[in-house]
Amino acid sequence: MTLLTARAYKEHAIYDKYTDEVSIGEYADECKYFKIEGCNAENQFGLAFNGTSFLPGIRLEGRKFRAQYEVDSDFFRYASGRTVTAYADVKKKWTFYFERMPEYMLDFMSIIFFFDNVYINGELYAPAENTFADVEYNDADNLGSVTIDLIKKNTLVRKTVCTAADANCLPSILDLGTEPFILAQDGDRLLTENNINLYQE
């Protein structure tokens, strides 16, 4: 025997495991509903990913809000009062709130944000912290909600100064060479305390 074809007929199958009832609705509002999917480059978390297109996911009601900016910077203030920022790294994060869900869904949520790639509505995110958020419960039941801070996975907003140069910057239309009515002294523009150019009336 070199070839064997096997077919399963649904009338002969016996089902003894069922999932909870799933409600199908209109989930086009990306400000209210979030499709969360994740994948790994190799087998992880007891799931088989290697060489597959396995992309487990879940759709939850929630909210994305409260943008925050974490800044790591290095700046120096001279005795003259001039300040130079030599380095700045800005990390923007959002707070995601996901509505109350049963424990088996919380099990999935607790690992998916630590996959190699996690997508929310098609965009790559990563956790802002190295721990999972505390689950909030209502005393009357066992449903939990989660509030977690996430950042875009591939975003870099950084400044690195490699020289000691500190030039006064203005659009070319306001350059001293073409705008002689800007007040200057010894080749430097004269500015107000708020760094506004002074003009000859």
Q: Domain spans of the chain?
A: 26-166, 167-201
Identify the pLDDT of residue 173.
Answer: 45
Q: Any bridge partners for residue 12, and if so which?
A: none
- Who wins on pLDDT, 135 or 166? 135
Q: Rounding to the nearest 10 degrees, give the CA dihedral for residues 11, 13, 14, 20.
A: -90
Identify the pLDDT of residue 168.
Answer: 61
pTM for the full predicted model: 0.64
Do 127 and 150 touch, CB atoms closer than 8 A?
Answer: yes
Pairing mode, if any, of strands 188-189 and 184-185? antiparallel
For 155, the token pair is 């975003």
> Cα separation of 132 and 120, whole Å?
17
Do 124 and 73 touch, CB atoms closer than 8 A?
Answer: no
The structure tokens 């089902």 sit at 15
pLDDT, the chain, mean:
80
Do 46 and 115 touch, CB atoms closer than 8 A?
Answer: no
Identify the pLDDT of residue 9.
Answer: 74
Which of 22-26, 53-57, 133-137 is predicted with the least confidence, judged by mean pLDDT?
22-26
For 97, the token pair is 């709130």
For 113, the token pair is 């944000």
Question: Does residue 31 surpass a pLDDT of 80?
Answer: no
The DSSP H or E segment spanning 103 is helix 103-112
The structure tokens 């591939």 sit at 154
Question: Does residue 169 surpass a pLDDT of 70?
Answer: no
Identify the pLDDT of residue 2.
Answer: 77
Question: Does residue 19 surpass a pLDDT of 80?
Answer: no
pLDDT tens, position by position, 52-103: 888 999 999 999 999 999 898 888 887 878 788 888 999 899 999 998 999 9
Pairing mode, if any, of strands 144-152 and 135-137? antiparallel
